Structure 1
Amino acid sequence: MPGMAWLMVLLLLALLGAARLCWLRAPARNKISRAQKRRAVALQQMEALAERLWQQEPSLDPKAILELPLERLAQKLQDDELSLESVLCSYLEEALKVHKEVNCLTDFLGECEEQLQALKKLQKTERGLLYGVPISLKDTYDCKGHDSTCGLAQFLEKPAAKDGVIVEVLKAQEAIPFVKTNIPQTLFSFYCSNPICGQTLYPLNLKKTRGGSSGGEGVMLAQRGSILGMGTDSGGSIRIPASFCGVCGLRTTGYRLSYSGVAVAVKGEKSVTTVAGPMARDVESLVLCLRALLSEDMHRLDPTVPFMPFREEVYSSNQLLRIGYCESDGFTQPTPSMARAMRLTSRLLQDAGHQIIPFSIPRIEYAVQHLFMGGLFGDGGATLLEKLEGDIVDPCIKTTVNLLRLPGPLKGFLARILKYIEPRASQKMKEIHGVGIPKKLWERHTAVEEYKQEFIAKWRSLDLDVLLTPVLAPAFCTGYSNITIDVSSYLSLYNVLNFPAGVVPVTTVTLQDEEELVFYKGYYEDTSDRCFREAVQGSIGLPVAVQCVALPWEEELCLRFMKEVETLAKNHREPE
């Protein structure tokens, strides 16, 4: 009987704990329920607008419009060869169709109808570079009257008082923002799921993830529900969905584009630079977007951003390049498809007359684990956990959250135990403990600056123009969110360095790539390496990209390099 009594006590305590948790989460559940109803109404309004516009354009051929590249679409709108109504209607219809397939929209920006009517009154001489172009925005971009949720209940029912700076500049260039797209809860995941809007699916393979945190953007662009989008990048959040979905994306130098009016779950980190950047189906579209954004309006609205107009002479140069070539960083072994994409791109660039110079990443383990991981969780995850207080934690970040919630002494104990069997996991446990005191934080900031100078010195000693590296590919199977930070070295490094880096699709996974994956072991042969191999299995036909990197403030050179890679890759594919 005493044993039975203890069992009853434990059961009662468990029930009380569950009841308390349910009570704590009740406000979040109520907010989420209201938000879901608002989204349903917004999407109904979106359908209604599409229907009204369709009635105004009864002879509309959406397919012909959706197939136009951005440059041609923008020109046809400028020349009145296409009506504003026909273009917006086509993208409204297609975005709704894509959303019904993959669940990628978080909100409809109903004010786009009013904006369209205002644009019709403009004279041709008054039109901006993006006149009439429908644009999608990652959920985090502030739009007046709309929530920017980061997938968090705490951010619901707090609509933005005004448009963010980038949204203002896009509108000043007469673009029409019309939808916001899905993200992972807190943005700390390469998956795309949150308790408010649910999971965004990967249309090419429902067993795979479309990447994150700009995952909704990646899918929208790949499926032609949008022609131009804006994402953000803290450790690959533009580049991963671009790579997985087979589109282009650019991580800009921090502070070249304003970040005012972009929501974040965690503010204050300085060692890792989060940036805004464009995503599109081709490089020329990224170029047009940057031309429009790098206007006087950007600096006027946010004086902390330097006024640096787009340098056409750099982008249009035909000068042959000295290209650093890094097939592996020594931390994450490339998958067979990643390595083949690099070799293919290198050969095409050499055949075109460019010089390829081998480049090795200095102190990669130190850069990724100490500078990036330690910088991202310099506060021990306290700010992130605070934002999740009373919220429902999405499965895509549950592993990270559970690790951060461990008591400090237990983290230290686990770090010591794992040191001999899982050294990477041990180091991660050590880094997420946090810096502890301000002096240690300043030392971390100093270490980042010293590493940047070391990296730049090596770059300049080889007289490089740009750098070619792998990018994580192909798309992961679902259920492997616990390894994303461990294998993100090709991406996170450039957030530490704050270099512009762009992704260009060059090939797809072949049967031979899949067969060679059987022999993949990784450099550490640990749990993360084994999971990485499993995560990329079953990917025949999925996109594989490469990454093009330049020195800070050299977006134009980075884009010029990306365009060269894109052109060579497309020409190579034509005879196949």
Structure 2
Amino acid sequence: MFALSPGCPALPVSVLRDERTVMSWPVANSHCDRRKALPCPLLQRMDKALQHLGSCVCILDAILSLPLLELSARLQEGSLSPRTVLYTYLEKALEVTQQTNCLRHFIPECEEQLQEIERRMEKGLLYGIPVSIKDHIGHKGHLATCGLMQCLDTVMEEDSVLVKVLKRQGAIPFAMTNVPQSLFSYECSNPIFGQTLHPLDPRRSPGGSSGGEGALIAGGGSILGMGSDMGGSIRLPSSFCGLCGLKPTCGCLLLSHAVPCALGPMARDVDSLALCMKALLCQEMFQLDPSVPPIPFNEEVYSSSTPLRVGYYDTDSYFPLPPCMRRAVKETRSALQAAGHQVSTTTPCPSPQGATLRSLRKGKQLLWCDPILLSSLSTGNIVDPILKPLVNSCKMPRLVKKLLALLLKPLVSACPSGQEQELPGVTPVYRSQFISQWQELQLDVVLCPVLGPAFATGYPRKLLGAISSTMLYNVLNFPAGVVPVSSVTEADEEELKLYKGCCDDPWDRALKQVWEMAVSGAVGMPVVVQCVALPWQEELCLRFMKEVETLSRGRRVP
């Protein structure tokens, strides 16, 4: 192994096989000067194409500052060329990955896609839009590694359905982004491509598992990215990085996996997510993947201005979040009420603590019973330090686990958790009850907290249970998205010192110290809220997110 500076990958170029001609890995070093080391023909052509704009930095900055809807409009009308936009984002993405190591590699075939859409008479909804995609989303001729050594020899023979539809709509996939090993972590590090850092603070994590996407978009190197979410993997990096992200109902944009996995967009604003969903929910998607319900995007629902009936809670009573995250929910609730929406403090969850605990445990059971995951981490693979505690606990004999459970039970006995049996029918029964109560309360949507702000690197692995705020809606399979609404204040930092948890037992007292180290010193970092709707109501979820986004202007970090 080479000794590389923070943000650089862990392995030398020689192990990357087919990827090695795409991007010379020393470029990931934040101390490199891009113009002194252009590693591949794609970047050399990019540099040449941008030379005529080099004296007009304002033109490049103007392109990067355009919201997706405006950029799309200019591309459609022809006042901006797809070529100029692509090379502008390639330039910026390279700059961002030099600082954060967020890219796995650039996609050279983006030039072929560029030429194809320039020849094509029909312009799709995403015509000329550069799009970044997460490591494991299949692109023909490239790896889908998940940060695993044994995947370095497996090249995708064809584009995934998602990539095919993106290309058909005129989008240009131009980069693949880094992920944590095996995807089952909300930090972002693996032994092959190294650790990704936060673009606003290199001492912090961008979240995971779509952490590379979060860092790239937040750093300005991509305007639209595609991630995936099995326990919060879109929403957590969006929260940490101050982005908008949507986890659709699993099956709306399908990715086959042993664990239900929802593909979804990440971007700087809600309109970008809506445009992406509108583009993807098209006839070609339904034909290529018949398992996706043939339901086009409902623009009428998204554009509606009818007042909403909103359910609300600021804690699930299982894993209390930092004060800034609860404050954000309360402030958003007040803003919604002032805007004429009806906010109910009654939630569709009669005992949030027990329900969330059951959901979290069921989610963990699903994840760690995945034979692909267990075999990939235990057979012929270098395990990333982030995952070693989980892998070791997985390998423990069942008898040892039962004994540990008996020993640890007194430490958490103060917290009633309701019925905790882990039977196969628990999740379907609870989901049915949750939906019934939602409907009895006549709710349209629910406002609730999400994990954040961005943790210091190394701490996500110490707070695994904190994903209860997102995992609940993976187990229920509800569409859920996050929206930035505020930023951490000095008052939040002071209140963090008073954290007691929900039970004030030995576990909570130990947890308090970890919380303080994980999130203290985050003044100015983004703070987000979570918006939820019933299954298959992505447009309503996005409409609610848009309302929250509009009402929060002036309070959030630019």
- Cα pair distance change 1:458/1:394, threshold 3 Å: same
Pair 1:304-2:291 in alignment: yes
Alignment of 1:112-127 (within 5 A): 112-123=110-121, 126-127=122-123
Computing the radius of gyration from Cα coordinates, the structure with the larger value is: 1
Q: Does the aligned pair in 2 maintain the 1:222–1:281 contact within 8 Å?
A: yes
Is the 1:57–1:85 contact (alpha carbons within 8 Å) kept by the matching residues of 2?
no
> Structure 1's 49 and 377: CA in aligned 2 closer, same or farther, altered over 3 A?
farther
CA distance in 2, matches of 1:33, 1:165: 25
Segment drifting more, 447-456 vs 45-54: 45-54
Q: Structure 1 residue aligned with 2:79, among 78, 81, 84?
A: 81
Does the residue aligned with 1:276 lie in a helix, a strand or coil? strand
Q: Which residue of 1 aligns with 2:7?
A: none
In structure 1, distance between residues paired with 2:220 and 2:13? 34
Instruction: Supply the distance in 1 between the matched residues of 2:206 and 2:356 (Cα, whole angstroms).
Output: 23
1:155 to 151, 155, 159: 151
Q: 2:8: which partner in 1? A: none
Superposed CA offset, 1:340-365 (max 9, x none):
11111111111100011013433444
- The one-letter code sitting in structure 2 at the alignment partner of 1:553 is W
8 Å Cα contact 1:255-1:305 kept in structure 2: yes
Q: 1:333: Cα distance to partner?
A: 1.3
1:345-386, CA deviations, whole angstroms, 9 ceiling, x for partnerless residues? Answer: 111111100011013433444444434333433465654231
In the TM superposition, residue 573 of structure 1 has moved relative to its aligned partner by 6.2
Q: Corresponding residue for 2:520?
A: 537
Contact 2:240–2:453 (Cα < 8 Å) also in 1: yes
Per the alignment, do residues 74 and 539 of structure 1 end up closer, same or farther by CA in structure 2, a change over 3 Å counting?
same
**For 1:209-251, what per-residue CA distance to the aligned partner results, in whole angstroms no more than 9, with x for missing partners?**
1100000101111111000000000111000000110010000
Identify which of 462, 487, 507 aligns with 2:441: 462
In structure 2, what is the equivalent of residue 561 of structure 1? 544
Mapped contact 2:484–2:556 kept (Cα < 8 A): no
Give how far 1:34 is off. 4.1
8 Å CA contact retained: 1:483, 1:528 = no
**AA paired with 2:313?**
C
Alpha-carbon deviation of 1:298?
Answer: 0.6
C-alpha distance 421-572 of structure 1, shift in aligned 2 (>3 A): closer
Alignment check: 8 A CA contact 2:19 2:105 kept: no
Query: Which residue number in structure 1 is paired with residue 276 of structure 2?
Result: 289
The residue that corresponds to 1:6 in the other structure is none
Q: 1:374 maps to which residue?
A: 362
**1:343 aligns to 2:330 (yes or no):** yes
**CA contact under 8 A between 1:521 and 1:529: conserved in structure 2?**
yes
Check whether the contact 1:95–1:220 (CA below 8 A) recurs between aligned residues. Answer: yes
Q: Give deviations 1:121-156, integer Å, cap 9, x for gaps.
A: 123xx1000000000001111000000000101111
Bigger mean CA deviation after superposition, 374-383 or 410-419:
374-383
8 A contact 2:129–2:170 mirrored in 1: yes
Q: Name the counterpart of 2:213.
A: 217
What is the CA-CA distance between 1:36 and the residue it aligns to?
7.2
TM-score of the two chains, using structure 1 as the length reference: 0.86
Question: What CA distance in whole angstroms lies between the structure 2 residues aligned with 1:163 and 1:528?
Answer: 44
- Residues of 1 paired with 2:452 and 2:502: CA distance? 17
Equivalent residue in structure 2 for 1:501, among 480, 486, 493 = 480
CA-CA distance at 1:202 after TM superposition:
1.1
Question: Does structure 2 retain, via aligned residues, the 8 Å contact 1:514–1:540?
Answer: yes
Q: Following TM superposition, by how much is the alpha carbon of 1:482 offset from its aligned partner in structure 2, in angstroms?
A: 2.9
1:135 equivalent among 131, 134, 139: 131
CA distance in 1, matches of 2:317, 2:556: 30
Aligned to 2:346: 359
Note if contact 1:36-1:196 (Cα within 8 Å) is conserved in structure 2: no
Is the contact between residue 189 and residue 484 of structure 1 (CA under 8 Å) also seen in structure 2? no
Specify which of 205, 223, 236 is matched with residue 240 of structure 1: 236
* Aligned mates of 2:220, 2:460 — CA distance in 1: 27
SS in 1 for 2:432: helix
- The alignment status of 1:200 with 2:196, answered yes or no, reads yes
Distance 2:408 2:371 in 1: 23
What secondary structure does 1:544 align onto? Answer: strand
After superposition, residues 243-258 of structure 1 pair within 5 angstroms as 243-258=239-254
Q: Percent identity?
A: 48
After superposing the two structures, state which structure 1 stretch, 529-538 or 300-309, moved more. 529-538
How many Å separate the matches in 2 of 1:170 and 1:467? Answer: 30
CA contact (8 A) 1:32 1:153 kept: no
What CA distance in whole angstroms lies between the structure 1 residues aligned with 2:191 and 2:413?
33
Aligned mates of 2:553, 2:209 — CA distance in 1: 28
Q: State how far apart, in whole Å, the 1-side matches of 2:124 and 2:335 are.
A: 37
Alignment of 1:478-557 (within 5 A): 478-525=457-504, 526=507, 527-557=510-540
Shift, 1:59, TM fit: 6.5
Aligned counterpart for 2:302 among listed residues 282, 303, 315: 315
Aligned residues: 524
- Structure 1 residues 523, 184: closer, same or farther in 2, change over 3 A? same
Distance 2:361 2:452 in 1: 21
Secondary structure at the residue paired with 1:300? helix
**Which residue of the partner structure matches residue 71 of structure 1?**
69
Shift of 1:530: 3.9
SS of the equivalent of 1:486 reads: helix
Q: 2:360, 2:468 within 8 Å by CA — same for their partners in 1?
A: no
Structure 1 runs not aligned, ≥5 long: 1-27, 261-266
- For residue 231 of structure 1, the aligned residue among 227, 231, 236 is 227
RMSD: 2.4
Q: For residues 62 and 395 of structure 2, what CA distance do their matches in structure 1 show?
A: 52
Paired with 2:357 and 2:316, the residues of 1 have a C-alpha distance of: 13
Higher helix proportion: 1
Once the two structures are superposed, what CA deviation does each residue of 1:301-356 show, in whole Å capped at 9, x if it has no partner?
00111111000111111100000011111112131101211111111111100011
Contact 2:258 2:370 in 1 (8 A): no
In 2, the alpha carbon distance for the partners of 1:29 and 1:285 equals: 37
- Map of 1:390 onto structure 2: 380
The structural deviation recorded for 1:181 is: 0.3
Q: What's the CA shift for 1:76?
A: 0.4
Is the 2:199–2:218 contact (alpha carbons within 8 Å) kept by the matching residues of 1?
no
Corresponding residue SS for 1:463: coil
User: Which residue number corresponds to residue 23 of structure 1?
Assistant: none
Instruction: State the secondary structure of the residue aligned to 2:91.
Output: helix
| Structure 1, 41-50 or 282-291: larger mean CA deviation | 41-50
